[in-house]
Structures are given as structure tokens and as C-alpha cells.
Amino acid sequence: MLRWLSDFETPKSIGPEMRFAGLCRTTCVLCCVCVFLCTSRVRTVESADASAATSADGWWSFSAPRRPRPPESTNISLAQNPIDEFVHGRLAVEHLQPAPRADRATLIRRLSLDLLGLPPSPADLDLFLADESPDAYQRLVDRLLASPHYGERWGRHWLDGARYADSSGGEMDMAQPMWQYRDWVVDALNRDLPYDRFVIEQLAGDLLPEARESTFIATGFHRCCVYDRLAGNGSDEVARLQSVTDRVNTTGSVLLGLTLACAQCHTHKFDPVSIDEYYQLFAFFNDADDVYLGFSNKRSLDQYRAARAQVKALEEELVAYESKLAGPAGRWEINLDEAERAQLPGDVQAALAIGKEAGTEEQSALVFSVFKAQDAGFVQRRTLIDQLDTATADIDLIPVMHQREGGRDTHVFLRGDVNSPGDAVAPDVPRFLPKLAMSNQTNRLDLAHWIVHPRHPLTWRVAVNRVWQQSFGQGLVATENDFGTRGALPTHPELLDWLACEFVELGGSLKSLHRLIISSATYQQSSRPREELAQRDAGNRWLARQSRLRIEAEVVRDATLEVGGILSHKLGGPSVYPFQNDGVLEGRATPVEWKQSEGEDRFRRGLYTYVWRLTPHPFLRTFDAPEAITSCTRRYRSNTPLQALTLLNDPTFVDAARGMAQRILMDTGESDKQRLHEAHRVGLARTPSETEMELL
């Protein structure tokens, strides 16, 4: 039918009225096609799962999950845990067989990349291959989950959703380092902070009764949003309201799997979210102020910045004053008598005896420092600077959220226009979801507790689906950020609900959830394609094999540096500036400098690269890293010539190639065969095949 539509043309000889009529007929045909496709989709939904209602009132994801009983596996010898029983049950319905277990070399590489984002070392490979104990795989899993690099790997996934960057975005794109929040995420995941607490601290860490510095830093989740003052025509208030809007939308997509943004201008066309309910959610975040840790309001921050500016001005004035002391210092040296010289420290006396012309720079500086200590003007200036510096110590400004005293009035913005306020609304949640426990002062903390309630129909399903997506390339619900009525149905609905309930029973332990998934036979399957699957299940929806996935931008670089032996394993700290071609930062409204880091900081993990939203590092964008403008819950995977050219020409990869070559030459025998064999073990975590050796 689509081919027929593309071939349909209106004759050129007819008049404009007839052409318009022809256009109308074509439009009608297109409308009929759309109706047909939509009704076909509904019929497909109904046939795929007769128990799933297609109306919003009975939509499957709007009811709390119930823990189902796993079906009896048709492949008892292969099943490792209940996950396999659900998957094998579906495969039996589709008349498909699961793939055999992958070889051990493949498994350790798969696990290392999935859990750490790094390839296994030859030593780790040998250790695992030599371990013939029944629990060898489980002990490998436990060792990888205990690695501090686990938090770096899975923290990167979370930061995509948090739209993490080190600048404010927009045309001005001012620096706003968020590395303390990034380090909080990594540390929380390494500590296996329960998921409910993980969410609560990020949404409302400042409102906790036991609030402390770390819980304030956690609220950086919603300080990562774009703040574009120019987009609001220079109005800070309009820019703030745009940030609040982004926080509502991000909460919806990342935590609830809902397209709340569709209700920003009008009632949602498909899901039961009205525009009033959208702005009731908006009210929770509208009562928060964007501040910096230790500064509860803008006035105190302005005072601090003024004091720091004064210190800087005084230091510049002191430098200018010092430059005028050269003459007086020389006369002071000449006029010193023997008694005065004798009272000076021995090294100063020695420097004076040698003389300025014959002495070293260090000796001249030593003599000059003694003179400055006796100069009243210098001492007065230095004392004032030290006093101000002590009173207003130079600190890293950490962006956090803080509840505003007295709150703000929130109105529905008609058609989403902040300049068209409508009726006033109070904080509340959509009526189709469980009720919120109201208090005298309902705030973000109440919202956070409501989101992570064990019986919430969305939160726990969305969370386990996100972890499943990273393990298999696609979630049980393919539309990972849309569990609404326009989203995809789950391929394994009972498995999804079982995982959500199990995650709650595991206390929200992400490490336990990972252990459960990667311990399944389903995860450990071979990824080798099979002809019958290419015909029956090309997208691997039924999981008759494991999926082959391209690694992400940061892992491409990290893995290359690791096999080259030059990757820095240092954890945390301020963002760094690896090699970047000249010209990337040119033409910005706010000029900035990319001063390349030195030493091991040149080869830190990609997680630590400084991210300017307006001009991100070209390597990250080339390999599909998100723009950090809005939340990203799934990265796209592309395959372009530019990627190949980058790997061939980027000096960082040349350094890694040189490092790997030196590593092979130094650690391996003299024969080319031995070196090729070791290169495969280092780079691919396996031995080469006979065919590969012959070709090489």
C-alpha cells in the first residue's frame, strides 16, 4: 500500500481545484492507512496478551506488579534460576530452543565489559580458565561486583539519565562543575546504596531529617539541568521555570517511565495525565531554590563572591606593590651593618655574603623575602589578605537544591507559556496512580517516598527494565522511557513483574539484581546467530540467544587505553582535559580554554572528561554519547566511517597502540607466533584461531 501511495501522482494538466481535490483524496487515503495501522496495532496487542487492556484505565503498567509463579522450564538442565524458567517458557510457545552456554573466554570478557567497562587482563583470563570449581563463575561475578570500577561503569548509565555535564548549557554555556555529584553516584553504586534510598537522596536529600553534606550533594541530580538565561530573554525567573519544567520531565522519563512532557501544554493525548496534574507535579520542584552547598540563598552567595573578588583584587595589588620594592630592597642590603647581618638566619647571611650578582635565583628570593617581612606596607597588605582569605576560604562551589522557606505559588501555564498563568495548583500526583500521603507541608520528600513505595506500579518495573536493557541490548519493554499506552508491551510481562517484585524483596540492592540477571543461563548464552532465529526472531525478542552489542563511547576509549597499558585507574576528583583537536572551542559566546591535562590525567576514564554542553569533546559525539541537554535513557548505536578514521588518527589511540606494542614486545617471546598469540589474549581475551594465525 505504501508503494502504491508513493507512485500516485496528480496529472499536471488539471487545474488547481482538481489538484487540491486530489491532495484531499491522498490525505484521506493516508488517514485510512494510519487508522488501519493503529487498529492493527491494537489487535496485535490484544492477541499478544489477552489479559492486557488497551484503555488507559486498565493499562498493564498502571497497576501494581504481582509476583507470578515461574513456569516449569522445558530445559531443566539449562535453567539456572527463575529468569530462565520464564524465558524458556516463552521459547517453548514460540517453538524455539535456547542457545548453548558461551565459552568461558567469551563469558569473562562479556562480564568484564558489562560490569566494569574494561576488558579482562590476561592474568584474570588465565585464572578463570584454570578454575574448574563448580562456583568459578559465581566467584568471578562477586569479584567484579566488588571492584570500585563497577560504580564507574554503572554510574555512567545513570548519569546519562541525569543529563550530567560540567556546564550550564545554552548559548552562554557557563562553567558549572558537577563532579562532586558524579563522584556521589559512583560511590553510592559501589556501596550498593538501596535503590529507594538512592532515589530519595537525589530528589530530596536536603529535606531528610538526617540531611548532611553527602545528601545535599545527591540533589545535584536535578541541578544537572540546562540553565539558559538567554532563552528566557535575559530573565532569571523564566530560566528557572524552564529548569523546573525539565525536572518534571526528567523525573517522568527516568524514574516513572512516563512521557509527562506531553502534558506540559495540554492534557496528555494518550495517557491519563491532565495539564493540571502536570503542574501539580511541577509544584513539588517549584518550591526548591538552586543554591550552592553552604549558601542557602543568593544573597549569601553574592556576599561570598564579592569577598573572593576583593581577595583577588588585593592579591593583584600586592603583586604590583612587590614590583616596586626592588630598589628599596637593594638599598637595604647595602646599608646593613655587621650587627644587623649577624641577627639574620645563617642561609640569609650566606646569600648576602655571595652577593646578588654571584648568587642563585633562590638565594636572591630568600633575601627579598626577609626584606618584605620588614616592610610595613607589604606586611599590612599581606595581613589583610590572610584575614579575608581565612574568613572566606576559597572553596569549590557545589550546586545543590534547597527547599525555599514559605514556598512559591504554582499556576497552570496555559499552553505551556510561563507568561500565561492560569489557575493555582497545589503539589499532588496524577489520579490514575496511587494516592500521595498528604501532610501539612507536602514537599519533594513526600514525592520521593511516594515514587519508591514498594507497591508503586511503575518505579520498580522501570528500574529492572533499565538494568535488563543494559544486559541484553533491549529492555523487556522496548520503549524504556514510555510505559504508557503508546509504549511497547513487555515481551515477557510475567518475568518483568517477577523481577520488579524480586528487586523490592532484595531491598533495592542493584548488585543483587545484577547478580541475579548475569547468573541466569539466559545471560550466559552464546550470541552466535542461527538461521532459524534470523527468520523467526531477527530482533532477538524471545532471547533464544545473547545479543551482540557495540560498546559505548567511553568504553571504546577506556578499553583501548587499558590494553595499551596506559589507562589511569584513579577514582574521582575534578573533571580532566584529555587530548582534543584545536578549534573545537572557537566561536563560543563565552570563550573558554581547553588546557590539556598532564601526566596520568591525560588517560583517565572517559567518565571523567570535562563536558561542555555547547562544545562537547568530538570523540564522545562521534561515538554516540548523549548531548546532556535532556535525559537519555538509551544510547543509539551507529557505525560510521568517521568512527574508523577517529580510531586510526586520534593521538590518544596512537599512544595506546604504541603502549600495547611495547607491552607485547617486552612480555612475550621473540617469535612472531608467540607475539600474535599474546596480542589476541591482551586485546580480545581469547586465543586466535588457526585461520586467524594463518592470515596474520
Give the residue carrying C-alpha cell 587499558.
562
- The whole-number pLDDT of residue 336 equals 82
Which of 333-347, 421-435, 486-500 is least confident?
A: 333-347
Query: Comparing 347 with 194, which gets the higher pLDDT?
Result: 194
Alpha carbon distance 444, 515 (integer Å): 32
C-alpha cell at 239: 530560566
Query: Comparing 16 with 485, which gets the higher pLDDT?
Result: 485
pLDDT over 50 at 9, yes or no: no
Which of 293-297, 469-473, 524-528 is least confident?
A: 293-297
Which of 330-334, 585-589, 591-595 is least confident?
A: 330-334
Q: What would the pLDDT profile of 226-236 be if each residue is shown by its tens digit?
A: 998 887 677 88
Instruction: Read off the DSSP letter of residue 332.
Output: H
User: Are 451 and 256 contacting, i.e. CB atoms less than 8 angstroms apart?
Assistant: yes
- The whole-number pLDDT of residue 3 equals 33
Mean pLDDT of the chain: 87
Instruction: Read off the DSSP letter of residue 221.
Output: G
Per-range mean pLDDT, top range of 440-449, 485-494, 687-696: 485-494
Q: What would the pLDDT profile of 374-418 be if each residue is shown by its tens digit?
A: 888 888 888 888 887 776 666 678 999 999 988 899 999 999 999
pLDDT band at 636 (very low <50, low <70, confident <90, very high): very high
pLDDT over 80 at 14, yes or no: no
Alpha carbon distance 570, 521 (integer Å): 34
Average of pLDDT values for 620-628? 95
pLDDT over 70 at 24, yes or no: no
Q: What would the pLDDT profile of 38-65 be if each residue is shown by its tens digit?
A: 433 333 333 334 344 445 678 999 999 9
pLDDT over 70 at 7, yes or no: no
- The whole-number pLDDT of residue 4 equals 30
Report the residue count for the chain.
696
Average of pLDDT values for 527-540? 92
pLDDT band at 32 (very low <50, low <70, confident <90, very high): very low
Q: How far is CA 183 from the centre of its chain?
A: 11
Q: Of 281, 295, 660, which is closest to residue 447 (Cα–Cα)?
A: 281
- The whole-number pLDDT of residue 2 equals 32
pLDDT band at 261 (very low <50, low <70, confident <90, very high): very high
DSSP helix/strand/coil, 361? helix
Average of pLDDT values for 602-625? 96
Average of pLDDT values for 205-219? 95
Inter-residue long-range contacts of 295-300, CB under 8 Å, 24+ positions, other chains counted: 296/402
Please report, for residues 116, 370, 407, 431, the alpha-carbon distance to residue 410 in angstroms, rounded to integers and kept in the order given: 44, 64, 9, 19
At 204, the amino acid letter reads A
User: Are 254 and 162 contacting, i.e. CB atoms less than 8 angstroms apart?
Assistant: yes
- The whole-number pLDDT of residue 25 equals 42
Alpha carbon distance 165, 607 (integer Å): 10
User: Are 62 and 273 contacting, i.e. CB atoms less than 8 angstroms apart?
Assistant: no
- The whole-number pLDDT of residue 402 equals 93
Task: Look up the pTM and report it.
Answer: 0.83
Q: How far is CA 8 from the centre of its chain?
A: 47
pLDDT band at 337 (very low <50, low <70, confident <90, very high): confident
C-alpha cell at 188: 553510592
What values do phi and psi take at 358, rounded to 5?
Answer: -90, -20
User: Are 83 and 103 contacting, i.e. CB atoms less than 8 angstroms apart?
Assistant: no
- The whole-number pLDDT of residue 46 equals 33
Could you please report the per-residue DSSP string of 379-436? HHHHHHHHHHHHHT------EEEEEPTT---EEEEGGG-TTSEEEEE-S---TTSPPP
| Burial of residue 565, with CB atoms counted within 10 A of its CB: 0-12 exposed, 13-18 middle, 19 or more buried | middle
Give the residue carrying C-alpha cell 502504491.
4
Please report, for residues 141, 266, 267, 407, 654, the alpha-carbon distance to residue 414 in angstroms, rounded to integers and kept in the order given: 53, 8, 11, 22, 56
C-alpha cell at 124: 584474570
Query: Comparing 164 with 57, which gets the higher pLDDT?
Result: 164
pLDDT over 80 at 282, yes or no: yes
User: Are 96 and 75 contacting, i.e. CB atoms less than 8 angstroms apart?
Assistant: no
Q: Of 631, 254, 272, 630, which is closest to residue 465 (Cα–Cα)?
A: 254
Q: Of 164, 156, 165, which is closest to residue 117 (Cα–Cα)?
A: 156
pLDDT > 70 fraction of the chain, expressed in percent and rounded: 89
Angle between helices 459-472 and 510-518 in degrees, nearest 10: 50
C-alpha cell at 601: 590525567
Which of 69-78, 95-104, 443-452, 620-629 is least confident?
A: 69-78
pLDDT > 90 fraction of the chain, expressed in percent and rounded: 68
